[in-house]
A and B are shown apart, each in its own frame.
Chain A
């Protein structure tokens, strides 16, 4: 065991994910937090500490969003911190919640993720342009999709992967999302639909991308002592990992996510996992773009380099396959309120390991699950491994 205390997940909650929701960010955070507490059978007074994960302030349009969201996250007069590593924030917030308890400092921690991207007008994509270096990159008119298009293209080039191989991910995830009650973009689509969708930045097309979303999600974490008192089936956090690569993103070879590999190695070592594809029963892999699911499966060593498309084509990553990936429907299907989406992935693994995922339940009796997110300027990886 790593840390002074073993850490369990004992409750999860989330709101609908939608392009635009009426609730304020605070109200969304409260809805998800309250649900997670209710599901854990706890009240706010039982919570010792709070970790809030939320992405750039520029989306909600509230500077110091951590402070703004504090009361909705249940942080009133409690030890509270906001963590932020871009898209990696959701899963990293769970990593941070883990160390709050594993350190021995707290017995409970409420982990909350929120995003209200609809505030940003005319489109949240515009706020993303402010994340680039103002001197090297912005004068060239850089937009967010460019950098992903460049990465996707490099990945395709190095391994000789075709668009239709990648489109299968979008088809799978949007179909999985049809069974998710909170999903924004569940749909039955075909590879042809993806290939015929609007060209945005070659090779990225409309249906390769997850939407922008409003939403919140939350988890309740507890020490072993507390968990055993309140539930008969806690889900244990047995591994955490996080890593950042060079901030000079043009100096990395974009075909392979080394940062994810480093984060995964840290988490696998903690969890005693030697053979990830054999030992991981179900995974929620960060999929803001369809190629990223494949890219990240390789970084997580769930597939060998360049082999993730083949596994996908063979149906291995379907819900009834040997290694189900994104049974929730992922960001492509459920939606992508950035930090909330990362926590949604952790919620899904929690539900899958408890056998409570309903129509989304993967076959067999999954014992070990993994959630991963990716962020900052394409070089941050965060991983959590859970066991029932």
Chain B
């Protein structure tokens, strides 16, 4: 009945008029803070990062080494069998160069981001992180070997940012 409907409702405003207060509106900024528990598996992961190790968890039944680690295997739904250290090297699964910040504002120097398939984890077990020590992002290649660049031990806090970024393994 699209063609039978003569009028579609909706009163358009200019977004800029709303933002700049030329349209009656109410502003509010919710002020909410959180303390997220890092839980069982993630606590292990963060403790590992503090020591300069990337921790994964294992499921013997599914023959998987999973990273990020989890407390249970989502495939067979059993508790994981244990936690293991994984190498801090891997290959680039996919990547992007971002000229956009979180609030959609634009940035000049692109942030390089990637999914990195870590060595020693099961196939396709990537983690999300930043890339660095790359002068021109157009030189990044799929399958490129990369290695974690860690903060010095005294600066590590048990956070994903204890790894500053991943850098190309050879030829800088």
- List A residues at the B interface (Cβ < 8 Å): 11-23, 28, 31, 35, 39, 61, 118, 121-123, 125-126, 129, 134-137, 139-143, 145-146, 149-151, 153-154, 157, 181-182, 198-204, 214-215, 246-248, 250-254, 347-348, 351, 354, 356-358, 360
Contact = CB atoms under 8 A, between A and B. Distances in A.
B94 interface: yes
A354 B4 CA distance: 12
A159 B97 CA distance: 20
Contact of B98 (A121, A200, A356): A200
Contacts of A247: 74
A20 B94 contact: no
Q: Which of B9, B93, B124, B128 counts the most A-chain CB atoms under 10 A from its CB?
A: B9
Query: Chain A interface secondary structure, helix, strand, loop or mixed?
Result: mixed
Interface string B1-29: 11111001111111100110001000110
A23 B58 CA distance: 52
Contacts of A123: 103-105
Contact of A61 (B3, B28, B100, B113): B28
Contacts, number: 180
Contact of A356 (B3, B101, B104): B3
Contacts of B146: none
Contacts of A122: 19, 103-105
Query: Chain B interface secondary structure, helix, strand, loop or mixed?
Result: mixed
B129 interface: yes
Contact of B128 (A11, A39, A135, A137): A137
B125 interface: yes
Contacts of B172: none
A250 B38 contact: no
A16 B98 contact: no
A153 B15 contact: no
B74 to A, nearest CB: 7
Nearest to B127: A250
